C-alpha cells in the first residue's frame, strides 16, 4: 500500500460560490484554536487560542520565529497531529467543523479540496515507490486520464517546477532526489489539481533562489486567479509582502498581531512584530548596500 501522498496534496473544487472577491465569506474560519502536547501527566500548550480566517481569492500569511507554533497551527487545522496532542477550539471549513472530525473525513478533505505543502517533503513520499507512480496515484484520485495524457500532465508539472529531465525523474525513488526537488514536486501537484484551499508551510525553503523566484511567481499567479484561498507560512517578510493580503504574526504559540499586510508591516503595534520588521529592514539594507558596492566595483574595474 502506497503512502497517501494525495492526503498531503491537491484536490478538486467543492463548488463554492463565484461571488465578488471583496464580500466572500471565509472558506476557513478558525476560532480559539489551541494545541496541547501530552507528556506523561504534563500538558504543554503549544498553540494558544489562535483565531484567523481566509476567503476564496485571499492569502493569509503566517509569520513568526522558529518554534512559534506556525506548523502546529496548520497541522491542527488539517488533523495531522497524532493522539499525543489535544486540539480545542473550532475550525470551520466550507461549513463543516474540522476539530474533532473523523480521521477519514479529514483524510478525504486533504485528498480532495485542501492541498498541503508540508515543511518536510520527504515525509510525504513513500520511499518504496517511484515518483511517477506516486504522482499518478495522486492525480488519478482527481482526474480520469488516459495513460498518455497522464504522462504528459506529470511531465508538464515537473517542467513547470523547473525540474530537468522530467521523464528520468518519474522513474526515480524519493531518496534519489534532493529535498528541494521533492518540495517542488509537492508544490507542482498541489497547485495543478485545482484545490479550494492551499496551505503551504515554508514551501520554498529547500529550493535554490532562482527556482524559488519562479515558484513564487506560480503561487502569485494562482493567487491572482482568485479561485483559491491560501495560507502561506514564511519567515520571509519579503515573500509575504509579495503574496499575502493579510498576516498573522505568531510568538510563543500566540497570535500577537493580525491585520492587512501593509498595515502590519508599516504600523505594527506589537513590540515583537516591530522587532521582526526592523530586523528584516536592517538585513535588506545591508544586502542592498553590498549589491550597490559590488556594482560600483564592477563599474570601476
Ligand X SMILES: Nc1ncnc2c1ncn2[C@@H]1O[C@H](COP(=O)(O)OP(=O)(O)OP(=O)(O)O)[C@@H](O)[C@H]1O
> Interface with Mg ion by CB under 5 A: which residues?
71, 119
Contact 85, 285 (CB under 8 A): no
Q: What is the largest CA-CA distance in the chain?
A: 68
State whether residue 69 is helix, strand or coil: coil
Comparing CB distances to ligand X, the nearer of 35 and 193 is 35
Q: Which residue has the cell 474533532?
A: 100
* Range in contact with ligand X (rule: CB under 6 A) among 59-67, 107-115, 140-148, 164-172: 59-67
Contact 85, 253 (CB under 8 A): no
Comparing CB distances to ligand X, the nearer of 46 and 243 is 46
| Residue 204 DSSP class | T
Interface residue with ligand X, options 7, 64, 79, 121 (CB under 6 A) = 64
Query: Counting Cβ atoms within 10 Å, is residue 282 exposed (0-12), middle (13-18) or buried (19+)?
Result: exposed
C-alpha span between 148 and 140 (Å, rounded): 13
CB of 71 to Mg ion, least distance (A): 3
Q: State how beta strands 85-93 and 26-39 pair.
A: antiparallel
- Under the binding rule (CB under 6 A), the answer on residue 234 touching ligand X is no
CB of 298 to ligand X, least distance (A): 36
CB of 279 to ligand X, least distance (A): 15
- Selection from Mg ion, ligand X, none that 64 binds (CB < 5 to 8 A by kind) is ligand X
Total residues contacting ligand X by CB under 6 A comes to: 11
Comparing CB distances to ligand X, the nearer of 130 and 254 is 254
Interface residue with ligand X, options 5, 10, 46, 161 (CB under 6 A) = 46
Interface residue with ligand X, options 6, 68, 113, 183 (CB under 6 A) = 68
Contact 36, 45 (CB under 8 A): yes
Comparing CB distances to ligand X, the nearer of 68 and 134 is 68
**125: which residues sit within 8 A by CB, 6+ positions away?**
3, 5, 131, 134, 174, 182
Comparing CB distances to Mg ion, the nearer of 56 and 183 is 183
C-alpha span between 211 and 163 (Å, rounded): 9
C-alpha span between 114 and 78 (Å, rounded): 9
- Selection from ligand X, Mg ion, none that 222 binds (CB < 5 to 8 A by kind) is none
Residues 186-215 that bind ligand X (CB under 6 A): none
- Selection from ligand X, Mg ion, none that 68 binds (CB < 5 to 8 A by kind) is ligand X
Q: Which residues bind ligand X (CB under 6 A)?
A: 37, 46, 64, 66-72, 119
Amino acid at each position: 500500500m502506497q503512502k497517501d501522498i494525495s492526503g498531503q496534496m491537491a484536490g478538486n473544487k467543492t463548488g463554492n460560490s463565484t461571488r465578488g472577491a471583496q464580500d466572500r465569506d471565509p472558506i476557513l474560519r478558525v476560532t480559539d484554536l489551541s494545541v496541547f502536547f501530552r507528556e506523561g501527566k504534563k500538558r504543554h500548550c503549544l498553540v494558544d487560542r489562535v483565531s484567523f480566517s481566509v476567503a476564496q481569492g485571499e492569502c493569509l500569511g503566517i509569520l513568526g520565529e522558529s518554534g512559534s507554533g506556525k506548523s502546529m497551527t496548520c497541522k491542527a487545522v488539517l488533523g495531522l497531529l497524532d493522539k499525543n496532542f489535544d486540539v480545542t477550539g473550532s475550525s470551520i471549513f466550507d461549513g463543516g467543523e474540522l476539530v474533532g472530525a473523523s480521521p477519514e473525513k479529514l483524510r478525504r478533505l486533504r485528498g480532495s479540496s485542501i492541498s498541503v505543502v508540508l515543511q518536510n517533503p520527504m515525509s510525504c513520499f513513500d520511499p518504496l515507490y517511484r515518483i511517477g507512480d506516486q504522482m499518478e496515484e495522486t492525480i488519478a484520485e482527481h482526474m480520469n486520464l488516459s495513460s498518455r495524457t497522464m504522462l504528459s500532465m506529470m511531465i508538464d508539472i515537473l517542467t513547470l517546477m523547473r525540474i530537468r529531465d522530467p521523464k528520468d525523474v518519474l522513474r526515480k525513488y524519493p531518496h534519489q532526489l534532493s529535498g528541494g526537488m521533492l518540495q517542488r514536486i509537492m508544490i507542482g501537484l498541489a497547485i495543478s489539481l485545482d484545490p479550494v484551499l492551499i496551505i503551504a508551510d515554508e514551501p520554498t525553503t529547500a529550493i535554490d533562489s532562482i527556482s524559488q523566484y519562479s515558484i513564487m511567481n506560480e503561487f502569485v499567479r494562482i493567487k491572482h486567479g482568485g479561485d483559491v484561498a491560501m495560507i502561506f507560512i514564511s519567515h520571509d517578510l519579503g515573500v509575504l509582502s509579495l503574496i499575502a493580503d493579510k498576516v498573522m504574526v505568531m510568538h510563543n504559540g500566540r497570535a500577537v498581531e493580525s491585520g492587512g499586510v501593509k498595515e502590519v508591516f508599516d504600523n505594527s503595534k506589537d513590540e515583537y512584530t516591530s522587532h521582526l520588521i526592523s530586523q528584516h529592514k536592517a538585513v535588506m539594507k545591508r544586502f542592498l548596500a553590498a549589491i550597490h558596492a559590488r556594482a560600483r566595483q564592477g563599474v570601476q574595474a
